[in-house]
Structure formats: structure tokens, C-alpha cells
Amino acid sequence: MKKTAGLTWAALRDLKCAELEGAADGWGRASNRADAARDRIDKQLLNGLRDTQQGEAADSAVARLRQLSRNFQYVYTECGLLRTTLNSLAHEMKAQQRVLADALDDAAALKFTVHPDGSVTYPAAGEGLIDGKPLRGGTASSGGLPGLLAPSGLVAPNPNTAKAQDIADRVAGAVRAAAEVDWRYAGILRRLKAEEGLKVPDATWKDAAGDAAAVRDAARSYLRNGIPQDATPAERHAWWAGLTQEQREEYLAVYPDRIGNLDGIPAVDRDAANRDNLQLLIGKLEGRDDDRSVTQLAGLREIDRQLQAAPKPGEPPMFLLGISDEGNGRAIVSYGNPDAARNVSTYVPGLNTSLDEDFAKNDLKRALDTAKGARYHDPSSAAIVWLGYDAPQAPDGLRSLAVSGEESAEAGGRSLNGFMSGMLATNESGDPHFTAIGHSYGSRTVGAATQNDGGIPGVDDIVLVGSPGVGVDRAEDLGVGKGHVFVGAAENDVVTKLPSKQQAAVGAAAGPFAYVVGDIADQGDDDLWFGKDPASEAFGAKRFRVDDGPHVVGAGGFSIDAHSQYFDPARDSASAHSIALIAAGRSEKVKAEEYR
């Protein structure tokens, strides 16, 4: 392109956008090669090295290969941004070329002359009111008066005057718009350059996050407006399937945050997008010192560490199905490919869960334990941990749960249904078996999801553990049939014994520990804070056996560990086994426990 000040309509007309698109294709091939190299390092070299070599030399080689993989990921991202920038530039320039071409075609049809400066000369036409002779022609230019003085009341206007003025305005408008496009993209392209050196530190990813934001803003008419944000997951799935491979690659490179968190996109593509978005988020939060950023950064780093590590023998691979710094943070991780699995369980965590290091270590482990247990019974099983909502944050513990509202559960239930609808749209097993697992306040979120129109899409079984109530009073109200609702409630889990709202009102003056040790806990009316006790006979679910768990007050002091061991085969094998059976579609083998 010429400099903005010297851009003419002839230069715009003669611009070869195909050359820009050809350059974009070249950067696309470079991006794909970097992605293939990263994939080979991660799936072949690193795994082979870990399996066959040990010692300091092997550890050093693994560290270097990880750095090389990170470098290739950066190359993949930046080259992808360059491809989209050039394609978007060509897209916008072609739009202005079409405007210009239409104006020039109209001028030619009318036998007008368009001059190099954009002015338009038109011939004589019409009739004078006095002498009947054709009115003289003239020249029109954008932003100025036409070549002849405005006619007096005794002279009719030349009918060509307005047509010439319109053509001149359209020519000038196309040139001005193209000059603005040229200036805008020149600035973006100047930014898209790599730092010197062989390492890609977090600071470089911070720059990459800024690069991606700039390209996203510029490419909104080229790519972003095409993303079906308001469509159903099934419609999004069809949209994605209808794109060319090049189009999908561009969306993954430029909008990893949107594509990675869009329900209805296949798991493999969401994982690819979110692994990129994870690095961009780490770069974005790096260096910030506010508590929220520090907390989320620790969680992101731990998830990244686990993604980089090779699965242990017998463990399914990780798929990152969602990641965001929205609210208290969002993260969705699957162990096993949920699109290929016949059995898919989705675990919804509860109170005090946020995107932090504890979530990345403990909640992910619960999903992994469930996946391993389910795959023992049916290898075609995947288990998901779904933090797709803002769970209540309770600084003063269980007492805060008792006074929590239900807004988080209602909003979370709607989001959960959107996610499950996406899983249903992308699953390729034919007739998948879906299980929703709610823990703690997450059980209230699952309960809220069941009350939306149609219930939770595709879900066959529901598991409730450590539940303070689910918002309904009968198992059959959850929409899957009472025989498909299962409950685990540890004897020493105080969350499963929180008082009803009426009891809480009576005992409000008793102090916070009254809620914890059960002084005003349910005394036999089967009511908890969010409705009927799911472990009661009145509720009507199938209760499975769990370990009592540690006492609330013991030799070691105060403990709520009984609330967090339902998924752990080492600490509560009976509960973990039952959850695994249900997740694997073998619920008929679950042994029932007596109701409370």
C-alpha cells in the first residue's frame, strides 16, 4: 500500500488483495508447522523420554523440550495472528474496492469522466426553461460545489449534476475508508514481531495477549461477527462443521477465548483453543498484585503444569474445555474425550470454589478419580469438573452457606444446561449416558438446572453428595425418575445437617458454632436449608453407603474433612466406588444404604 496521504482511487482499484491473501496463507502454513512441531514434542518426544529415561540428564532434556514446546506454541499463536491480520486487511480492502468499482461502473454507463483527483465531469443534459437548450455540463467533486453555479429559479438543474455528485462522494468515501484501514492495519502489523532470544517468558505472553486483543478488535467484521453467540449449541456445532479448515484455524488463533468457551464446539477444538487462551491469560495476569489476579494466576499455573505433564499409566488424557478469568474464574476440565466416550459425568463443585490452586489440585483430582473408577467398569468413560459459574464465597465458613441466597445456583443451572446441551450436540457415541454430580452447594446448582425447561439436557442419572438440599422436596421432581437419583451423605458432614430456614431463624442468636456442631441442626423434620434432606426417606432418592468421616470436633481440633472425601478412593472407597458405578452406567450395582 502507498502512504495514506498519497492513496488515490486508482491505487485502490489496482490493489491486488490476492497477494495479501497469499501472504496470509504463507503465515498460516508457518503457524500449522509450529503447531505440528509442538504436538510432536508433547505427544511423542516427551512421552518417549519419560518412559525410557531417568536421571538428571533426562530431567534436563524434559525441561528443554517443554521450553521448546512453549516456543512453538508462541510461534503458532503469532503466525496465526499475522495470517488473520492480512486476511482481515484484504477483506476490508476488497469491500472498499467493491464500493469504488460500483461507482466507476455507474460513471462509465453515464459516460462521465472520473479524474485522478476523484472529481467527476458530466455532459450537458436537460432543457433550459427559457431557450430549451441542453444545460451545460460541469465537474463535481466530493466536499465541494459542482463545477457550475447553482441554477437560479429560472433555470432547471442539469439532471447529471446530482448523479455526478453522488459518484464523486462514493469514490472519495471508498478512498477515505481504505486509507483508514491501511493506517489501522499498518499499526497492528508493526506490533506483531517477536522478541529476540530463544525463550518465551511470561512477559512475552503478556505482549501476545495484547497482540491478540488488537487483532480481535481489527478483525471484528472479518471474523468475530460470524461467531453465533446467540445460537443454540446444536446450531453452533453445525456452524463449526460448515467452516473450512482454514477458517477454523483462524478462529482458533484469534478468538481462542470465545471458541474455547463456546458450547457446541467439539472437545478437541475447545481444548486446542483453551490451551492457547490459558497462556494468554497467564500473560495477562502476570505482574498484577491484586488478590483476585494472584489467586487466579496460581490456579492457572497449576492447571498448566498438569496439562504439560504426561498422563500416568492408566490415566486418561486431560481436555481443557473452558478457561476464563470472568468473576471468580471459570475452568472446565475433562479426563477423557467426552465426545468419544459413551459415559460422561459432570461434577459441579460448590461453596468457596473458585479458580485457585486448591481447585486446580483437589477438584480436578475428584474428576480424575471418578474417571479412573468409571473406566474400570467401562473404558468408554470420561469425567468432567465444571466450574462454569460463580459459587458462593463464604469467608466465615458454613454459617455463610446457611444465609446464602439461591441466585448463584439459578444462574449456574442455566449455564450448566447450556454446557450439557453442547456436550449432547458434540458426542459421537450415538446414545451417550450422562451423569450430573453435585457436591455441596453444587447440588443446589444441579437442582436448579433440572427445573429449567426440559431439565438437564441428556442427563440420565443424578448424584448428590454433601448436599444442603437441592431446591425440591422429592427425587422425582429432578426429572430423571426417582430410581436414577443417588445420594451420599456422611454422618459427620455438617453441611448435610444444616438447619432449615425456620430453625435458622430460631437459632440465629446461638452463635456461629451452633450451626457447625449441630446444636440447632435438623432434629427429625427432614428439612435442610435448601429443602428436604436428599438422604431422607421423604425425599425418596437411593442412598448409597459412605464413610462417616472425621468428627467435627476431635483431638486435632475443628474439622470439616467429612465434607470433602466422597470422591477419594483412599479415604472413602465405598462412596468413590458407588459414584464410579453410576458414572459408568452401572447404577444397578450400587448397594443401598438406610435413609436417615
Over the Cα atoms of the chain, what is R_g? 32
Average the pLDDT over 22-33 and give the result: 88
Write out pLDDT tens, residues 88-128. Answer: 888 889 989 999 999 999 999 999 999 999 999 999 887 66
Judge whether 486 and 438 are in contact, CB under 8 Å: no
Distance CA 215, CA 323 (A): 20
Indicate if the pLDDT at residue 515 is higher than 50: no
Alpha carbon distance 281, 257 (integer Å): 9
Task: Report pLDDT for 514.
Answer: 46
Range with lowest mean pLDDT among 303-317, 332-346, 439-453, 501-515: 501-515
Whether the CB-CB separation of 381 and 341 falls below 8 Å is answered with yes
Residue reference for cell 430549451: 132
Does the predicted model carry a pTM greater than 0.85?
no
How far apart CA 60 and CA 66 sit, in angstroms, is 10
Contact between 535 and 418 (Cβ < 8 Å):
no
As a whole number of angstroms, the distance between CA 32 and CA 37 comes to 9
DSSP codes of every residue in 433-496:
EEEEEEETHHHHHHHHHHTSTTSSTTEEEEEEES-S--S-SSGGGGSS-GGGEEEE--TT-GGG
pLDDT at 36: 87
Q: What is the per-residue pLDDT for 145? A: 47
- Other CB atoms within 10 Å distance of the CB of residue 27: 21
Q: Is pLDDT of 552 > 60?
A: yes
Mean pLDDT, range 149-171, rounded to an integer: 75
Would you say residue 34 has pLDDT above 60?
Answer: yes
Q: For 192-258, what is the HEC assignment?
A: CCCCCCCCCCHHHHHHHHHHHHHHHHHCCCCCHHHCCCCCCHHHHHHHHHHCCHHHHHHHHHHCHHH
Cα 99 to chain centroid, rounded? 37
Asked whether 263 and 427 are in contact (CB, 8 A), the reply is: no
**Residue 522 predicted with pLDDT over 80:** no
Q: Report pLDDT digits (tens) over 179-233.
A: 988 888 888 888 777 666 656 666 666 666 677 777 777 776 777 788 999 999 9
Name which of 141-150, 175-184, 478-487 the model is least confident about.
Answer: 141-150
The answer to whether the beta carbons of residues 213 and 244 sit under 8 Å apart is no
* Cα–Cα dist 101/104, whole Å: 5
- Whether 484 shows a pLDDT value over 90: the answer reads yes
Name the pairing type of β-strands 330-335 and 318-324: antiparallel
Position 225 scores a pLDDT of 80
Q: Which long-range contacts (CB under 8 A, 24 or more apart) does 507-516 make?
A: 512/396, 512/397, 512/399, 515/398, 515/399, 515/402, 516/397, 516/398, 516/399, 516/552, 516/558, 516/560
pLDDT in tens, 436-477: 999 999 999 999 999 999 999 999 999 999 999 999 999 999
Q: Rounded to whole angstroms, how far apart are CA atoms 344 and 346?
A: 7
Provide, rounded to the nearest whole percent, the portion of the chain with pLDDT above 90.
Answer: 54
* Of 383, 433, 453, 388, nearest in space to 415 by CA: 388
Burial 547-574 (b: 16+ CB within 10 A, else e): bebbebeeeeeeebbbbbbbbbbebbeb
List strand residue ranges (DSSP E) for 92-152, in order: 113-114, 120-122, 138-140
Judge whether residue 73 has pLDDT over 70.
yes
Give 247's contacts (C-beta < 8 A, 6+ positions apart). Answer: none
Q: Which pLDDT tens digit goes with each residue over 402-436?
A: 445 688 999 999 999 999 999 999 999 989 999 99
pLDDT of residue 337: 97
Amino acid at site 168: A
